Structure 1
Amino acid sequence: MISFIKSVLIDLQKKDFKLEDLHFILPSKRAGVFLKHHLSSLIEQPIFTPQILSSEEFVEELSGLQNLPNTDLLFRLYESYLVLTAKEEQESFDSFSKWAQILLQDFNEIDRYLIPQDHIFDYLNAIKELNHWSLEPKQTDLVKNHLKFWKQLKNYYTTFTGNLLQSKQGYQGLIYRESVDNLESYIENANGKTHIFLGFNALNTAESQIIQGLLKNDLAHIYWDIDKAFIDDNIHDAGWFTRQHRKQWNYFKTEPFNWVSNHYSEPKHIEAIGIPKLVGQAKYIGQLLDELTENDTNLSNIAVVLGEEQLLLPVLNSIPKHITKLNVTMGLPLQFVPLASFFEQLFNIHKNNPQHFYYKDVIGVLSHPSVYPLFETDDGNVSNDIVTHIQKNNTVYINVNELKQRTSSHKELIELLFNSWNNNPKVALKLCSELILRMKSNFDSNKQDHSLELEYLYRFNTLFNQLVELNTSYKYLNSIVGLQSIYKELLSSETLDFKGEPLEGLQIMGMLESRVLDFETVIISSVNEGILPSGKTNNSYIPFDVKIENNLPTFKEKDAVYTYHFYRLLQRAKNVYILYNTEIDALKGGEKSRFLTQLEVEDIHKVKTSIVSPDVPIIDQNLTEIIKTRLVIEKVKQLSAKGYSPSSLTNYIRNPIDFYYEKILGIKEFEDVEENIAANTLGSVIHNSLEDFYKPLVGHFLTIEHLKAFKSETKAMVTKHFEELYNTGGFSSGKNLIIFEIAQRYITNFLNLEIESLKDGNDIKILSIEADEIIDIAIEGLDFPIKLKGKVDRIDSFNGVTRVVDYKSGKVDKGKVEIVDWEELTTDYDKYSKSFQVLCYAYMMRQNKKIELPIEAGIISFKNLGEGFLKFGKKPSSHARTRDQLITNETLDNFEIELKKLIVEICNPKVNFVEKELDK
């Protein structure tokens, strides 16, 4: 395969041009590197390198203007806006920048296509006057302001461009317009220079006039890179622009339209492969490269063209290890490096200038990989201590002074991170720069290699220096929100460039970097609608019909540009692998690109299609089994001596592995900050409040006066216990206020239930409240002490019948406290755990001789108070309606058998802790 660039150079040699005297103009800088390479292979003796420029460089040279970055242009446009806008109507820079970006793009397009400014701005204004939405004869202020904006567009443009030209600066479009104005002078002073334009396709009006002017004066030659299959097909978008040039340029009425190749129709191996997700494509690219390079294929003839730039890192991580040489022409966007997420967090927590920080934001900053190492000490990491303090004290909001109190050694670092920015960009930039220096110092003192992290820091330091310079030069940044918008603008345009040999190894690039370059094997990713081509995006103030009227490009022309790039990649290639995402994306769509459909329909090449999915192995779900070693049995004996609680035993019934982790290993559940009051906190508040109310009445009969007094004190009591349990977490607003009110409602409803019971003539005597019970259990075959312990919520006498009462803040139905088969009591957690617990309490009370049988035992459910006291009952069968609700010695003897069987199982060295498969 002879590449397009090399074939052009060969043609120039045949025409006896002195290559060193030529001026080459190419679509991109990268193409210039390949031109030099091919040039070196064709010359027999050393020559001076000819002048090689990208189109942007050539036009900038022609115009005499310096191209300004987009952020500088925004500030310069704001200067013009302030001059033209009354002070009381002026918007802040932050607000202005949101719509000015689009305005800059439109100015750029108008100038690149040499549209008469007066014509288009007056035309736009006239349309808006005609089309405004108000039907009232008298215009409202809203309509007036809307129309005023369109009237001002011409003034914005005139003032803005005038200021730029005065300072010899410009944006791309203005530079193109000036270049056309300077073309005649350039031609007069050209002194016979020969310009070679090669590989161009879509030309704006300015470029078209410049090239035609040079061609007309015999100062240029142009080489198109277009295939016969595209230019001769009147409806093929890949040849849309070149057909226009051939038809409309006067030059081609007398001169031949040369350089139409016929490579596309040559035999090719083309595969279209559908793969789910971006990462799936990255992994498949790695697999393809492994297969393609198996026989030492020349890597420089392989190109990976990425349709989406965020695929770069996954692809780099998927490249086979034996590929050691590669060249990445697209930079890694700076917004994708880890440090970017840290500064994003920092801006977000400071932009509203808060006095207190939300705990998740604080933990996010302290735990970020960029900051976490700065808190290291010989005794551990200080940030861990701060996070633990926040969780332990349930701190939802925290200020900088409270954070400083948690450390004696890192107060300055806490200040750098959390001191108020006072809505002042100057303060923000100073603190951010100091943080970068602190990170650099930490890396410098560390003996490990941190070259990549230092590169990140250098680039961010440069970025913040740019922001400082912009803020100093223009002084329009007066808020953190405004600073953040400019920071994001700079960040989105900055890339981290890779080092590599551009002419050796595997080539990884974006679609635009592939211009003019040819490869034998091409892998193209993300060939989906909405990506290739990008589809109908209209980020402009100029309506579609106005663009058509003024020959401005629309999404149709943009689609034709991408069609050309796509097909040009295929033109000289022998092996083509086209990858697309099969997963539907709500924003970008999920269908394969129309390019693939077009390839299949045109039927020039046979396209092999396939759908690939990752090989997901079937993973057998092996339930965890813990062998009861000597150490485990020792722990079981210690636990037995300390005492089993009813809840720990039901935890074992539910899942022995949970019991093992909690009781044998002592692993507690992670205690996160309760941003919203949790169910267990609500339950504790209700229990504690009722304990404080009823404890003084032990040994006394309840009266209505007692209960009315409790009702009047409910709010104060609930507040007291919420403050004790919820620490610094607030409950005066939001969901927490609702939960606080629910706790009061639950207790009030319960007290009302007790009042109604007394009014109905019932006698209630309080015998015990929150009684701690512990008993010894002798089990045959176990020669070590075993205890059962628990806290009984309430024991009372109801019309002379002793009741063991357990409070539940959740909902419990009557069926949950009834059993049919004693043996199921210790096997079915969902059905019988509540029954098991109340029987445990009754059993302990009997063993301690604190009650006389028969008694009743059951649950009061605060979410099911309408059912009253839910008594334990034994039914002879699951269909029986009759039940025995009195607990007798026989009842507890039957329970004792099951209880001992359960404890024996826990203590048996031969019965391992085996995980139960729980329903999700």
Structure 2
Amino acid sequence: MATFIFDVLKDLQKKHVNLSSITFILPSKRAGLFLKHQLSQVVNETIFSPEILSVEEFVEELSELKTISNTELLFEFYNTYSSLTPKDQQESFESFSKWAQILIQDFNEIDRYLIPQKNIFNYLSAIQDLSHWSLEINKTDFIKNYLSFWNKIFTYYSHFTEQLLLKKTGYQGLIYREAVENLETYIQNNLNKDHVFLGFNALNTSEETIFQELLQSGMAKIYWDIDEIFMNNAIHDAGLFTRSHKNKWSYFKNNNFDWITNNYSKEKNISVYGIPKNIGQAKYIGSILKNLKQENLSLTNTALVLGDENLLIPVLNSLPSNINALNITMGFPLKSIPLASLFEHLFHLHKKPSQSFYYKDIILLVSHQFLRPLFYVNGIDYAAKLTETIESNNLIYVSVERLKEITEAKCNNIIDLLFLKWHETIDLALKNCSELILNIKSYLDENKNSNLLSLEYLYRFNELFNELTLLNSKYNHISDILTLHNIYKELLSTETLDFKGEPLQGLQIMGMLESRVLDFETVIISSVNEGILPAGKTNNSFIPFDVKVENKLPTYKEKDAVYTYHFYRLLQRAKNIFILYNTEADVLTGGEKSRFITQLEIEGIHKLSYHLITPKVPIINNSLNTIHKTPAVIESLKLIAEKGFSPSSLTNYIRNPIDFYYQKILNIREYDEAEETVAANTLGTVIHNTLEDFYSPFINTFLTVEAIKKMKLLIEKTVRSHFKEVYKEGDITKGKNLIIYEIAKRYVSNFLDLEISDIQKGNNIKILAVEADASAEIKIPELDFPVRIKGKIDRVDEYNGIIRIVDYKTGKVAQNEVEIVNWDEIASDYKKFSKSFQILTYAYMIHQSGSIKLPVEAGIISFKNLKSGFLKFAKKDKSGAYAKKDVLITDETLNLFSIQLKNLILEICNPTIPFTEKEI
């Protein structure tokens, strides 16, 4: 296919123009690269390459100024602001930066469009004066300061630009204004120089002035790329600027307007795809490219234009494997690189000065993929050691000294870089970041081949922190970590990691602006939605809309027209066009398809084929996880049976057999992280241990009121001691933990009060055992290996001559949870009967050991339901009524229970019954 650039070169050749002597000026550097490539296809002899410049490079050459970064402009502007604003009215650099960037952008627009600065700034000041209390006699200080700010804007502008010009630097608008100032001199010094402008559309006033002057002086030619469809339609935005140039430029009254083409009306295959969500679009782009490859269409002549550049990574992950060559013209945002999260964590950690650090922040840092290798010293993983120590000791806030103590001084250097001296000076904070990068680099250098991409990440971040260090040393405006963090984020949002590849080969992936002047046979355009293409009404400016219109500054209408031109220009010479839009409505960006698609429909020039794409969602049958019992599993079960099943492991099997498999066969335990708030099981352990301490001295002794009252005096000391033992170094002096600590003391106190009340009523309580280990062998003829059950019983006592087996529960338990009607359900319904199963297991073990005689009582004391006292196990008949002596556990009771117990163990050990997950 003949491209616009190729046609321009052929036209120049036909006019016998010496191509080597021309200075080509294009909208972008990338277009220049394609021009150089096309040049080799036009000329048949060896020639010197012409000078090829982007319009920014050309204007910079005219102005004799150098462009500086937006961040450095901000620092320079703060110099101006500080020198012109009284100290008592000055804002911090962080606060200043939030509005100054908008003002610099306004300065840029005013200069690019050659608006008389004083006039517009005075006009803005007058508007604010009229809008804000101009007739008020007694203005507040806030109002005075506000109006004073608007009065000073021209002074700020004048001082700011003077300082930049003295340093031979500038922002784009200032460079354009200076270029216009120097234009006459340039023309006089370069009368024999020929210029060719090609592919331009929307021009600011500075560009229009420069182009027209060079055209009128006979030093230039200009080639437009516009189709007659758009040019002849007075309301079509794709031709808005070109029509204006043709009608208003005096040059075209006597000279031809090159060119108006008729490519757009030629036959095209246009397919419009409505696809839900961005990821859906990315995946479908992969499908389109796969089909193009299979149809043997050249991907070298294919452009993938991403309307939303956030789609880059999803698209790269969705490309088919048969794409061998790829050229990406947009950079990968640094903020999306994994290394960015490391410095984000560090800045978050140091926002406030502190001597100790929150454990989750520490674990997050030492576990980071770029930092963890630095904690691996002499074969020891100190990152894992730090994490384990923090979690096992419930260290919520950890000092640097404690971190060094844990790592045994092996990681002192890296710990200092991460946690020390960040608040002494900003220079030290930046130095820490740079040294951290060097430490990571040293590790990556050892495995260079497998870490080339990571080294590239590191290099870009090293550049970023070098720039921050340079800016801070030059201007010294960064006063604290918060400001540094904001400037870092500002830099990070604009910096990219540029891809390296052969720009003229393979699939071309680009943003809409990178497509200027370029033509492709096949075009795929994504995110063609309102709010993206075009961007819609955005007004990030101090200049009101009507003032912009009055001064011929661009508004959202002109910006929409720019995107309209780029969109239609992509379609002009293309043959195969795929337009994708998101069908899912979004609160912020809307969700409707772009007006561009509707416009294509209304024009009726091309037939559009429409497709609504829905993701292929496979039907996944929710099957319960099943683990078959292999010989190895059976061997593990035999070892467990020989060692002894605990009541909790058996009830765990009843609840969900798959959990029993994970915990008992595979020995997988739940992850125990640091308890920031005291956990329920910790509270239960503290109470159990406290009561064990209190009652152990009274085994085989009747309790007395005096003895229990003495226990009450020891509650504070004993509970605190056990918290320290169980909760380690966790803090129980404030917050929720203090409340839980007080609850523990109250539970113990209330329980002892219940005991006192019982004794005062004339009941005799004799302690027989506390926290007693119990076990028993179960005879199961069907199994050829021994089976035991074992457990720890909280308390065994004698209450008015009846032996009681008591289980403490810190949670709430009701009477109906220790009652049973149907024995067949006790080993199958966890929710209803797990507590009954547990206390009956304790009774069975004690009876089998021969240490007590039946009948006995077994039950639960619930610390959240103490008013109900001892909740006794009870057997009801099938009608739900209590049978005679239903609370006593007799031989008959245990015989009936043992049948269920043996059946449960037989099921667990049966090789033909798999561990099957239960729906919970």
Q: Same fold (TM over 0.5)?
A: yes
Q: Contact 1:423–1:479 (CA<8 Å) still a contact in 2?
A: no
For residues 299-325 of structure 1, give each alpha carbon's deviation from its aligned partner in whole angstroms, at most 9, with x where no partner exists: 221011122333223323332333222
Q: Output the amino acid matched with 1:97.
A: S
The CA deviation string for residues 152-209 of structure 1, in whole angstroms up to 9 with x for no partner, is 2222111111111122211001111112222233333331433222211221222122
Query: Aligned to 1:225, what secondary structure does the other structure show?
Result: strand
Matches of 1:236 and 1:752 in 2, distance apart? 89
Q: Within 5 A, what are the aligned runs for 1:306-325?
A: 306-325=306-325
> Which residue is 2:227 aligned to?
227
Do residues 197 (structure 1) and 197 (structure 2) align? yes
Tell me the TM-score normalized by structure 2: 0.94
Distance 1:776 1:120, change over 3 A: same
- 1:155 matched to which residue of 2? 155
Q: Are 1:641 and 2:648 matched, yes or no?
A: no
Call closer, same or farther: CA 1:639–1:107 in 2, change over 3 Å: same
Corresponding residue of 2:60: 60
CA contact (8 A) 2:303 2:520 kept: yes
- The answer to which of 182-191 and 743-752 deviates more is 743-752
Q: Check whether the contact 2:775–2:846 (CA below 8 A) recurs between aligned residues.
A: no
* CA gap 1:207/1:669 in 2 versus in 1, 3 angstroms: same
| Corresponding residue number in structure 2 for 1:891 | 893
Partner secondary structure for residue 720 of structure 1: helix
What CA distance in whole angstroms lies between the structure 1 residues aligned with 2:68 and 2:92? 22
Matches within 5 A, 1:483-562: 483-562=484-563
Encode CA deviations 1:692-720: one digit per residue, 9 max, x unaligned. 34444444555566666655654444333
Counterparts of 1:603 and 1:423, CA distance in 2:
68
Q: C-alpha displacement at 1:785, in angstroms?
A: 3.1
Deviations 1:258-286 (A, max 9, x none): 42222222221112223333333222222
CA distance in 2, matches of 1:330, 1:313: 11
Q: What letter matches 2:260 in structure 1?
A: V
> Is the partner of 1:857 in helix, strand or coil?
strand
Are the equivalent residues in 1 in contact too, given 2:528–2:582 (CA < 8 A)? yes
Post-superposition offset of 1:336: 2.1
Code of the aligned partner of 1:647: S
1:828-867 mapped onto 2 (5 Å cutoff): 828-867=829-868
Amino acid at match of 2:312: L
Match of 1:472 in 2: 473
Would the aligned equivalents of 2:332 and 2:498 in 1 still touch at CA under 8 Å?
yes
1:452, 1:875 → 2: CA distance? 71
Q: Is the 8 A contact 1:820 1:877 kept in 2?
A: yes
Moved more, 364-373 or 67-76: 364-373
SS at match of 1:78: helix
Alignment of 1:266-345 (within 5 A): 266-345=266-345
**Cα shift at 1:544:** 2.8
Partner of 1:324: helix, strand, or coil? coil
**Aligned residue for 2:120?**
120
**Partner Cα separation in structure 2 for residue 571 and residue 755 of structure 1:** 95
- AA partner of residue 39 (structure 2): L
Q: Provide Cα deviations, 1:837-892, integer angstroms capped at 9, x if missing partner.
A: 11112222333344444333222333444544333222223765879333222212
The answer for the alignment partner of 2:565 in structure 1 is 564
Partner of 1:739: 740
Match of 1:236 in 2: 236
Deviation at 1:756, TM superposition (A): 5.6
Correspondences of 1:434-453 after superposition (within 5 Å): 434-446=435-447, 448-453=449-454
Evaluate the alpha carbon distance shift between residue 875 and residue 607 of structure 1 in structure 2; reply closer, same or farther with a 3 A threshold: farther
Helix, strand or coil for the counterpart of 1:443?
A: helix
1:262 corresponds to: 262
Structure 1 letter corresponding to 2:285: I
1:224 aligned counterpart, secondary structure? strand
Change (3 A) 1:686 1:608: farther
Partner of 2:9: 9
SS at match of 2:553: coil
C-alpha offsets along residues 463-519 of structure 1, whole Å, 9 cap, x if unaligned? 222222222222222222222222222222222222222222211111110011110
Post-superposition shift, 1:364? 1.7
In the alignment, the residues of structure 1 paired with residue 565 and residue 442 of structure 2 have an alpha-carbon distance, to the nearest angstrom, of: 50
1:904 to 903, 906, 910: 906
- 1:593-672 equivalent positions in 2, closer than 5 A: 593-672=594-673
Within 2, Cα distance between the matches of 1:134 and 1:821?
A: 88
Letter in 1 for 2:363: I
**Distance across 2 between alignment mates of 1:893 and 1:881:** 19
Question: In structure 1, what is the equivalent of residue 771 of structure 2?
Answer: 770
Bigger mean CA deviation after superposition, 488-497 or 847-856: 847-856
Distance 1:534 1:196 in 2: 31
Change (3 A) 1:210 1:867: farther
Structure 1, 35-44 or 866-875: larger mean CA deviation: 866-875
- Which amino acid is 2:907 matched to? E
Cα displacement (A) at 1:799? 4.9
Tell me: CA distance 1:679–1:555, structure 2 relative to 1, closer, same or farther (3 Å). farther
Q: Is the 8 A contact 2:71 2:490 kept in 1?
A: yes
Q: 2: distance between equivalents of 1:543 and 1:731?
A: 58
Q: 454-463 or 65-74: which moved more? A: 454-463
* DSSP-derived class of the 2:779 partner: coil
Question: Is contact 1:350-1:420 (8 Å) kept?
Answer: no
Determine the structure 2 residue equivalent to 1:820: 821
**Partners of 1:33 and 1:563 in 2: CA distance:** 25
Q: Counterparts of 1:643 and 1:354 in 2: how far apart (Å)? A: 51
SS of the residue 1:771 aligns to = strand
Root mean square deviation of aligned Cα: 2.7
Report if the CA contact (8 A) 1:306-1:525 is conserved: yes
SS at match of 2:808: strand
Give 1:388's aligned amino acid: E
Please say which of residues 587-596 and 494-503 is displaced more in the overlay. Answer: 587-596
Match of 2:182, SS state, is helix
Q: CA deviation at 1:253?
A: 4.6
SS at match of 1:180: helix
- Matched residue pairs, number? 918
> Cα–Cα, structure 1 residues 347 and 870, in superposed 2: closer, same or farther, change >3 Å?
same
CA distance in 2, matches of 1:290, 1:10: 35
Q: Is the 8 A contact 1:109 1:173 kept in 2?
A: yes
Structure 1 residues 345 and 767: alpha-carbon distance in aligned structure 2, compared to 1, 3 A threshold: same
Query: Match for 1:857: what amino acid?
Result: A
Find the aligned partners of 1:548 and 1:703 in 2 and give their Cα distance: 95
Q: Which ranges in structure 2 are unaligned for 5 or more consecutive residues?
A: none
Tell me how far apart the structure 1 counterparts of residues 805 and 465 of structure 2 sit (CA, whole Å).
69
- Structure-1-length-normalised TM-score: 0.94
Residues 894 and 171 of structure 1, relative CA distance in 2, 3 Å threshold: same
Task: State how far apart, in whole Å, the 2-side matches of 1:429 and 1:795 are.
Answer: 66
CA distance in 2, matches of 1:213, 1:879: 104
1:40-59 to 2 correspondences below 5 Å: 40-59=40-59
**Residues 423 and 480 in structure 1, CA contact (< 8 A), matched pair in contact too:** no
Greater mean deviation of Cα atoms: 643-652 or 213-222: 213-222
Q: CA deviation at 1:754?
A: 4.9
1:341-378 Cα shifts (integer Å, max 9, x gaps): 22222222233233212222222222222122233345
SS at match of 2:294: coil
Question: What letter matches 2:834 in structure 1?
Answer: S
**Which one-letter code corresponds to 2:196 in the other structure?**
I
Task: Find the aligned partners of 1:703 and 1:204 in 2 and give their Cα distance.
Answer: 98
**SS of match in other structure, 1:806:** strand
**2:109 counterpart of 1:109:** yes
In structure 2, the residue matched to 1:183 is: 183
Identify unmatched segments of 5+ residues in structure 1: none
- Does structure 2 conserve the Cα–Cα contact (< 8 Å) formed by 1:809 and 1:863? yes
Deviates most, 147-156 or 511-520: 147-156
